[in-house]
Amino acid sequence: MTDEVISDRAKYYPTNKLILCRLINEKVKPNDPSKHMFDASARQSVVKMGYPINEEALMAGLSVSGKVTGYIKGKALIRLDGSKFTGIMHPNDVEGIDKNLPIEKSMKLGTHYNMKITEYSNEGGKKLIRLSTLSKYFKKFEGVELGFEVDQNAINLWDNYQ
């Protein structure tokens, strides 16, 4: 399994292939309450950790980690580990990179960062998650952490599944 985007899911997950996944959500079919549907994820980080960062946990100051998955308007898109959320990070909010280089070279795809959420809003259904690695934000938001238990059994199951 992987955390990467799989473009051809039918090829990657053929019928009758055994996969390891984590159930994320249960829904009752609106027009037939006797039928239940499930959302599941086969992403490695979700199978191992679940989604410890959910909508209620998002807040300015929260320590998060994630990797660069793309770019938009001079900012990097960062997929947050342990969540289904993507934030944005401007090169000026990253310590230790050459800000004179194009963003694609200074913040390469797949680069992993430990960050603080510097701003979070959810206005009209549009989420904004601004991120930074600057030490001033780690000092400003010291002590703002997410408390969750790591499911060690899921990690062991995943490691043995490989």
Q: Do 68 and 102 have their domain in common? A: yes
Q: How far apart are CA 106 and CA 123, in angstroms?
A: 31
Q: What is the pLDDT of residue 162?
A: 54
- H or E segment to which residue 157 belongs: helix 152-161
Q: Do 36 and 69 have their domain in common? A: no
Q: How many domains, the chain?
A: 2
Q: Do 25 and 93 have their domain in common? A: no
Using DSSP bridges, classify how beta strands 126-132 and 112-123 pair: parallel, antiparallel or unpaired.
Answer: antiparallel
What is the tens place of the pLDDT at every residue in 45-76? Answer: 677 666 666 677 778 888 888 999 999 999 99
Q: Do 68 and 47 have their domain in common? A: no
What is the tens place of the pLDDT at every residue in 70-85? Answer: 999 999 999 988 777 8
| pLDDT above 80 for 124 | no
Q: Do 15 and 82 have their domain in common? A: no
| pLDDT above 80 for 122 | yes
Q: Which residues pair with 86 in a beta bridge?
A: 79
| pLDDT above 60 for 14 | yes
Q: What is the pLDDT of residue 92?
A: 95
| pLDDT above 70 for 152 | no
Distances (CA, A) of 90 to 21, 77, 104, 127, 162: 33, 9, 12, 17, 36
Please give the average per-residue pLDDT across 129-158, as a whole number. Answer: 75
Residue at 120 is within a domain: yes
Range of the domain at 113: 63-140
| pLDDT above 70 for 1 | no
